[in-house]
Homo-oligomer: A and B are copies of this chain.
Amino acid sequence: MRKKLFHKSPQKIGLPPGSLVHVGKKRVEKPKISLIDYDSANFIEREIESPEDCLSFFATSSVTWVNVDGLHEVKILERLGAGFDLHPLVLEDILNTGHRPKLEDYDSMLFLVLKALSYEEETGEIIPEQVSLVLGPTFVLTFQEWETGIFDGVRTRIRSHKGRVRSAGPDYLAYALLDAIVDNYYLVLGKISDQIDTLEEELLSEPTPATLNKLYHFKREMVLLRKVAWPLREIIASLQRSESSLVEEKTRVFLRDIFDHAFHVVDTVETFRDLLSGMLDLYLSQTSNRTNEVMKVLTIVATIFIPLTFIAGIYGMNFENMPELKWQWGYPTVWLLMAVAAIGMLLYFRKRRWF
């Protein structure tokens, strides 16, 4: 089944703002809360049952990262929100998975809504998953619709004390998570790039109606991809420029780096759109060409044989008084006549360069 173009939430219409209703499909059985707490010296990783268990870590000055997979249990989010003092609109947006990517600055915290992508090889579809990220003074909260491996690389780097992440603050962690998401876009674009390459070869060698459907499919995916890629770029740009005290100066150079990547992603999506448009134009022109070729074959054959058949028809008539029929050389003469007509026609078509 195709993914939905638009997530509507009729059950929300009419509720006061800040009402917590999960909009989206229930994807996992039970939400999973995992916590990592670290500074350059210490490291704690734990699965958590009750949201309140996070709060003791929250109090310390070490960086606390709480990740929630699965959003359908509204109660859990409410309790987490109460613990970390999240604005009701933040909670509402986390739950509404059909949201447009955005960045909001609530002075004491930054709130980001993003789309992570995954690519389904079979159907060739890009599946967006909403990832919400809250960056506070000593903590980062992330919320995902289901468990994906998207942040595994970051976790490994924290565990193994690799790179800069253990010695830096929560803003660097947020950057590392954003970087993981943008890297993911690269992966998906790489796969699509291969497919478009293959499609182009197919188009240039032997296009079929199936080629058209694939073309349409990729154009459609690009429309939807564009819808998430542009705001991603904007968000990272405004994060980099933001004057929030939550983002340290030395982290900004890294944000500039992923801004470049996000720009590259948008650029590539636009390039793909252009290429696919060009390919559709080519397809249409090829179809016109082929119709033209088919028509020429029909016209040549019909134009040569229809008059000849007419001549044969004439001498198939049964009039009693048809002198030609009795002539000795009538039959060969008719053959000659036909040959002349056919050759004349062929010369005409040759002159017009029809074959």
Q: Name A residues whose Cβ lies closer than 8 Å to a Cβ of B.
A: 2, 4-6, 8-10, 12-19, 87, 89, 93, 99-100, 102, 104, 106, 152-153, 156-157, 162-165, 176, 179-180, 183-184, 186-187, 189-190, 193, 196-197, 200-201, 204, 206, 209, 212-213, 216, 219-220, 223-224, 227, 253-254, 256-257, 260, 263-264, 267-268, 271-272, 274-275, 278-292, 294-299, 301-303, 305-310, 312-322, 324-331, 334, 353-354
Q: Which residues of B sit under 8 angstroms from A220, Cβ to Cβ?
A: 275, 278
Q: How far is the CA of A51 from the CA of B92 in the complex (A)?
A: 40
B325 adjacent to A320 (CB under 8 Å): yes
Q: How far is the CA of A196 from the CA of B187 in the complex (A)?
A: 30
24 A-B contacts (beta carbon < 8 Å): A5-B271, A10-B187, A14-B152, A16-B157, A16-B165, A16-B176, A17-B176, A17-B257, A106-B253, A216-B278, A216-B281, A220-B278, A223-B278, A224-B271, A291-B295, A299-B301, A301-B306, A302-B303, A306-B306, A309-B309, A312-B314, A315-B317, A315-B319, A319-B330
Q: Which residues of B sit under 8 angstroms from A316, Cβ to Cβ?
A: 312-313, 316-318
Other CB < 8 Å A-B pairs besides A12-B183, A212-B286, A315-B318, 19 of them? Answer: A5-B196, A5-B275, A8-B189, A13-B184, A17-B163, A106-B253, A220-B278, A284-B284, A291-B292, A294-B299, A295-B295, A301-B302, A301-B307, A309-B309, A312-B317, A316-B317, A319-B324, A319-B325, A321-B330
Which residue of chain B has its CB nearest to the CB of A283?
B285
Q: How far is the CA of A288 from the CA of B271 in the complex (A)?
A: 27
Q: How far is the CA of A2 from the CA of B194 in the complex (A)?
A: 12
Interface SS majority for chain A: helix
A263 adjacent to B100 (CB under 8 Å): yes
Q: Which residues of B sit under 8 angstroms from A284, Cβ to Cβ?
A: 284-285, 288
Q: Which residues of B sit under 8 angstroms from A224, Cβ to Cβ?
A: 271
For A291, give its contact among B183, B219, B256, B291 (CB under 8 Å).
Answer: B291
Which residue of chain B has its CB nearest to the CB of A257?
B89
Q: Which residues of B sit under 8 angstroms from A8, Cβ to Cβ?
A: 186-187, 189-190, 193
Q: Which residues of B sit under 8 angstroms from A99, Cβ to Cβ?
A: 260, 264
Q: How far is the CA of A331 from the CA of B152 in the complex (A)?
A: 82
Which residue of chain B has its CB nearest to the CB of A87?
B253
Q: Which residues of B sit under 8 angstroms from A201, Cβ to Cβ?
A: 2
Q: Which residues of B sit under 8 angstroms from A186, Cβ to Cβ?
A: 8-9, 13
Q: How far is the CA of A185 from the CA of B17 in the complex (A)?
A: 16
Which residue of chain B has its CB nearest to the CB of A268?
B6
Q: How far is the CA of A161 from the CA of B164 in the complex (A)?
A: 47
Q: Which residues of B sit under 8 angstroms from A263, Cβ to Cβ?
A: 100
